[in-house]
Amino acid sequence: MGFVENKISSVIELCEDPTPDPAGIIIFGASGDLSFRKLIPSIFKLFKNRKLINFYILGVGRSNLSDKDFRERILETLNFDRDLVKKFIDHVYFLSGNYDDDNLYINLKEKINILNKKHNAKNNRLFYFATPPNVYLPIINHLGKFKLNEENGNFARMIIEKPFGNNLESAKKLDYELHKYLNEKQIYRIDHYLGKETVQNILMMRFANIVFEPIWNYKYIDHVQITVSEDLGVENRIGYFENTGLLRDMFQNHILQLLTLIAIEPPASLEANMIHDEKIKVLKSIRPFEYDTLDEYVIRGQYTDGYINGELKKSYMEEVGKNTNTETFVAVKMFIDNWRWSGVPFYIRSGKRLKKKLSEVSIVFKNVPHSIFSDFYPVKIEPNSLVIRIQPDEGFKLILQAKQPGSKMCINTLNMEFKYRNFFDYEPQDAYERLILDALLGDQTLYVRNDVMEESWKLVTPILQRWENEKSDLYYYPSGSWGPKESYRLIEKDGRRWRDYENI
């Protein structure tokens, strides 16, 4: 008993997040939506959990705010113990200015020096780019000009929000500019899906258990499905979304990252570069999309009006106020041409204004080679599936067949289900909290390396080009549905079907 207790307490210690070195967190675009919705609450949680002791937050933005104004807005937004929030905002400051104006950076440098002394933050700097991407380059160039990128025994790291470029060319250009002043170890390309608990669990599940690995290949897996659906539309981000579309917004980054974790070979260790090396192999093995046959593999859609939870929602075009071809839905069929995945289709769908918010990966296994039950149970045996629920209700489910109690050998489907919240004393950590802490700790495992980012842009380039140059069909779907009919055809023509979410 004593041994078990000791083991548990040492495991708990081992599993505690380390405390990062003192640092200043400088947020460009600090008065924007992302900052108030995600970044500041996540940093506050780190403070609440005593991960931040000697630190300051310096918000930078075009809004004309004083330290006091910014603090008051935070006080209004953070819905936590007020006394603690008051202590937190003693660490918070604001600097206004234009991103292409030298004066902003002269003031920034001065303010950083003052705050370093005031908060014992050494001269460690974590810059967060939460601005619209069109000002990334002026900021980077000015940080370089005023030597705010230099480390000299301390750290200077930059978290770059997506979209990282708008296509391969612009992503490479941005990367080139970043590398003029920074080395790869200073660059943190964020993809918040990688910070989600269940996404991280994919590696643990695959490589800390012996039972899955022997069957995790083309011999036993029939196909893989990924659904990432949202019931929300584009809300107040129409300007951004109109120039982006769903392929760039969700597929090029979050979904491809998820897919690589499902598909990678066991990395030699958990060291960041080992994982990135394996991811790159997967991305390079994905069969490229061909311009001419694209419509057989990629379906794009756009929502029309319809009901979600009894409420009538407008069509995308009504929201934008003009005719537009921007896709709010994509369904894709793809193959990974390597020894493990040869011939196994990956079906992916993602969209806005679908019936509900849900992200799930289903590994659908092959059928038993022969049913000995067929004489008295002439119904096809459903294949086994492993369903990884990324959100909500994080967990996973193994779908098996079992005997239905009774005198006959009748089969029924059994769901062996594990839900995080039932098992662990677990308050879901926001992905940003995990990722900001990792950046402060200098851990790039859950960030996207430059070659991985480039390879994923390469993959979507033929799709983007085809959509830009030639009319490819755009299929409409009512808000509150599961997407256009053609997305069903994509999978059903292969004799398979999307997992049924109607009764879940």
Q: Which residues bind ligand BG6 (CB under 6 A)?
A: 162, 192, 230, 249
Give the tokens for residue 115: 């705050």
To the nearest whole angstrom, how small is the minimum distance from the Cβ of residue 192 to ligand BG6? 6
Helices (H), 93-249: 102-119, 136-145, 168-181, 197-207, 238-242, 245-246
Nearer to ligand BG6, 70 or 241 (CB): 241
Q: How far is CA 198 from CA 360, 391, 447, in A?
A: 10, 8, 16
Nearer to ligand BG6, 229 or 304 (CB): 229
Nearer to ligand BG6, 199 or 334 (CB): 199
Give the tokens for residue 71: 């603090």
Q: Nearest Cα to 229, choosing from 497, 477, 495, 460?
A: 477
To the nearest whole angstrom, how small is the minimum distance from the Cβ of residue 457 to ligand BG6? 16
To the nearest whole angstrom, how small is the minimum distance from the Cβ of residue 250 to ligand BG6? 6
User: Under a CB-based contact definition with an 8 Å cutoff, are residues 264 and 386 in contact?
Assistant: no
The span from the CA of 348 to the CA of 460, in Å, is 14
Query: Could you check whether the bond before residue 163 is cis, i.e. omega within 30 degrees of 0?
Result: yes
Residue in the shown chain whose Cβ atom is closest to ligand BG6: 249
Nearer to ligand BG6, 71 or 196 (CB): 196
Write the single-letter amino acid at 390.
I
Residue the block writes with tokens 């509900």: 356
To the nearest whole angstrom, how small is the minimum distance from the Cβ of residue 448 to ligand BG6? 13
To the nearest whole angstrom, how small is the minimum distance from the Cβ of residue 332 to ligand BG6? 17
The span from the CA of 394 to the CA of 383, in Å, is 23
Nearer to ligand BG6, 249 or 438 (CB): 249
In the annotation, is 254 catalytic?
yes
Nearer to ligand BG6, 27 or 95 (CB): 27
Residue the block writes with tokens 């020894």: 339
SS (H, E, C) 366-380: CCCCCCCCCCCCCCC
Nearer to ligand BG6, 192 or 355 (CB): 192
- Torsional sign, CA 94, 51, 448, 464: negative
To the nearest whole angstrom, how small is the minimum distance from the Cβ of residue 162 to ligand BG6? 6
Nearer to ligand BG6, 430 or 454 (CB): 430
User: Under a CB-based contact definition with an 8 Å cutoff, are residues 154 and 122 in contact?
Assistant: yes
Nearer to ligand BG6, 45 or 142 (CB): 45
Residue the block writes with tokens 């039932």: 422
To the nearest whole angstrom, how small is the minimum distance from the Cβ of residue 61 to ligand BG6? 20
Q: What element of type H or E holds 33? A: helix 33-34
Q: Nearest Cα to 216, choosing from 229, 202, 226?
A: 202
The span from the CA of 304 to the CA of 2, in Å, is 63
User: Under a CB-based contact definition with an 8 Å cutoff, are residues 258 and 448 in contact?
Assistant: no
To the nearest whole angstrom, how small is the minimum distance from the Cβ of residue 30 to ligand BG6? 19
Q: How many CB atoms lie within 10 A of CB 11?
A: 10
The span from the CA of 500 to the CA of 504, in Å, is 8
Q: In the 8-state DSSP scheme, what is residue 187?
A: E
DSSP character string of 196-224: SHHHHHHHHHHHS-TTTGGGSSTTTEEEE
Choosing from 91, 192, 254, 276, which is the catalytic residue?
Answer: 254
Q: In the 8-state DSSP scheme, what is residue 37?
A: I
Write the single-letter amino acid at 248.
R
To the nearest whole angstrom, how small is the minimum distance from the Cβ of residue 193 to ligand BG6? 7
The span from the CA of 283 to the CA of 264, in Å, is 9
Nearer to ligand BG6, 178 or 194 (CB): 194
The span from the CA of 497 to the CA of 345, in Å, is 12
**Rg, Å, the chain Cα set:** 25
> What residues are labeled active site?
254
